[in-house]
């Protein structure tokens, strides 16, 4: 796996650093890659080097609390929308004026919201098995219940784990076996698997830390708690109207589904530069079937380049 690793980057932020991997020499088009919930920048183990082979510059970040990035200070909650502030800090640090965004799952939703909020910066938007910014799993939609569970759950987590990562696993294989079991919310939707063993190992290479007695996941346990707020559905639809750049969504046949997610397509199709591609596969299709997904992405970018040259 080491041959696909990028150069380690540490981007300073007020609470520590946002860790990232970089590929390329600073030339060509620029790409920021954003992983999904509880994953890390190794999510783009196959795609990032391929983009750099085009002559492009690629940065894949670990979101705060994930991978090698700093955790938020104790006592604070993680709000997915606030990841956008961290992404903006990264962009300002890199001094990028224009760039493309690629995100998987939660990362795709964050890329969408960023592109709608800062449209002058984003040249391309590619979303992998997501069509909107999702609600964090196990977050109740009801206002009072959501607030109560978010507040009580962080208190329980602090009492149980203190400032630790959570459960200690005796072996790496134990962690992988746990990863291969989808959480209850996915099983209730009929999703019985998301990773292959090879994909799980790729993510664990960056997401695992050895401690006394075994191994722990590097991610902050607070990331699994209910979120105290989420973006309103009407706001989601409004932001979809703001996407004018070339926009690709790749949807996996066996990934999580929802009626709301598919309702977004009618809005996206108003953009003549929008394309949707369905692929047979699991939610982490970009890792499990990377050759198929990467070909779709490269073909899309080639088509964008041809369209751009035709207008010059």
User: Which contacts (CB < 8 Å, 24+ apart) does range 170-177 have?
Assistant: 170/213, 170/214, 170/215, 171/214, 171/215, 172/204, 172/208, 172/215, 174/214, 174/215, 175/204, 175/208, 175/215, 175/217, 176/200, 176/201, 176/204
What pLDDT, on the 0 to 100 scale, is given for residue 15? 97
Q: How far apart are CA 124 and CA 50, in angstroms?
A: 17
With 90 as the cut, is the pLDDT of residue 165 above it? no
**DSSP symbols for 100-155:** EEEEETHHHHHHHHHHHHSTTTEEEEEEES-SS-PPPTT--SSHHHHHHHHHHHHH
Best mean pLDDT range from 97-106, 167-176, 186-195: 97-106
Tell me the per-residue pLDDT of 42-73, one tens digit each, with 9 for 90 and over: 999 999 999 999 999 999 999 999 999 999 99
Per residue in 20-34, pLDDT tens?
A: 999 998 789 999 999
Question: CA-CA distance, 212 to 210, in Å (whole number)?
Answer: 7
- pLDDT of 312 higher than 70: no
Is residue 248 classed exposed, middle or buried when 0-12, 13-18 and 19+ CB atoms within 10 A define those classes?
buried
| Tens of pLDDT, residues 196-220 | 999 999 999 999 999 999 999 999 9
Token pair belonging to 131: 């069509």
183 vs 227, which has greater pLDDT? 227
Q: Provide the percentage of residues in the chain whose pLDDT is more than 70.
A: 96
H or E stretch covering 279: strand 274-279
Domains in the chain, CATH or no CATH each: 2-138+229-311 (3.40.50.1820)
Nearest to 102 by CA among 58, 156, 152: 58
pLDDT in tens, 140-162: 989 999 999 999 999 998 888 77
For this structure, is 105 an active site residue? yes
Question: What value does the mean pLDDT take over residues 251-271?
Answer: 91
Query: In the predicted model, is pLDDT for residue 2 greater than 60?
Result: no
pLDDT of residue 192: 75
* Mean pLDDT in residue range 109-113: 98
pLDDT given for residue 38 in this prediction:
94
Q: Which residue has the higher pLDDT, 194 or 244?
A: 244
Which pLDDT does position 217 carry in this prediction? Answer: 93
Q: Which of 43, 66, 105, 227 is catalytic?
A: 105
Q: How many residues does the chain have?
A: 312
Does 3 have pLDDT greater than 80? no
Residue 230 pLDDT greater than 90, yes or no: no
d(CA 263, CA 132): 10
Give the confidence band of 284 by pLDDT, cuts at 50, 70, 90: very high
Q: Looking at residue 122, what is its pLDDT?
A: 98
Is 174 within 8 Å of 181 (Cβ atoms)?
no
Which H or E run includes 60?
Answer: strand 57-61
CB 287 within 8 A of CB 46: yes
Helix, strand, coil distribution of the chain in percent, nearest 5: 40, 20, 40
Task: Give the pLDDT score at 20.
Answer: 98
Asked whether residue 132 carries a pLDDT value surpassing 90, the answer given is: yes
* Closest to 41 in 3D by CA, of 69, 15, 16: 69
Measuring CA to CA, which residue among 145, 286, 164, 142 is closest to residue 213? 164
Looking at every residue in the chain, the average pLDDT score rounds to 93
The pair of three-digit structure tokens given for residue 4, joined into one six-digit string:
């696909």
Helix (H) or strand (E) holding 7: strand 7-13
């Amino acid at each position: 796996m080491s041959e696909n690793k990028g150069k380690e980057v540490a981007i300073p932020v007020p609470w520590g650093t946002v860790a990232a991997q970089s590929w390329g020499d600073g030339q060509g088009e620029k790409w920021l890659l954003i992983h999904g919930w509880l994953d890390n920048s190794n999510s783009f183990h196959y795609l990032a080097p391929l983009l750099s082979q085009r002559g492009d510059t690629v940065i894949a970040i670990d979101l705060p609390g994930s991978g090698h990035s700093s955790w938020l200070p104790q006592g604070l909650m993680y709000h997915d929308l606030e990841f956008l502030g961290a992404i903006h800090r990264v962009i300002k640090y890199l001094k990028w004026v224009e760039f493309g965004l690629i995100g998987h799952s939660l990362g795709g939703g964050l890329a969408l919201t960023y592109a709608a909020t800062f449209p002058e910066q984003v040249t391309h938007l590619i979303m992998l098995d997501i069509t909107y910014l999702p609600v964090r799993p196990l977050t109740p939609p009801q206002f009072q219940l959501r607030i109560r569970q978010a507040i009580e759950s962080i208190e329980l987590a602090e009492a149980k784990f203190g400032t630790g990562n959570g459960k200690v696993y005796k072996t790496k294989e134990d962690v992988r076996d746990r990863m291969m079991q989808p959480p209850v919310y996915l099983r209730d939707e009929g999703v019985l698997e998301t990773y292959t063993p090879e994909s799980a190992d790729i993510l664990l290479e960056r997401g695992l830390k050895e401690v006394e007695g075994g191994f722990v996941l590097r991610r902050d346990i607070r990331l699994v708690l209910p979120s105290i707020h989420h973006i309103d559905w009407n706001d989601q639809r409004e932001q979809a109207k703001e996407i004018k750049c070339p926009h690709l969504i790749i949807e996996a046949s066996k990934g999580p589904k929802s009626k709301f997610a598919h309702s977004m397509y009618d809005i996206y199709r108003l953009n003549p530069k929008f394309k949707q591609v369905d692929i047979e596969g699991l939610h982490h299709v970009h890792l499990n079937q990377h050759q198929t997904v990467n070909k779709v992405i490269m073909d899309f970018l080639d088509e964008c380049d041809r369209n751009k040259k035709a207008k010059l």
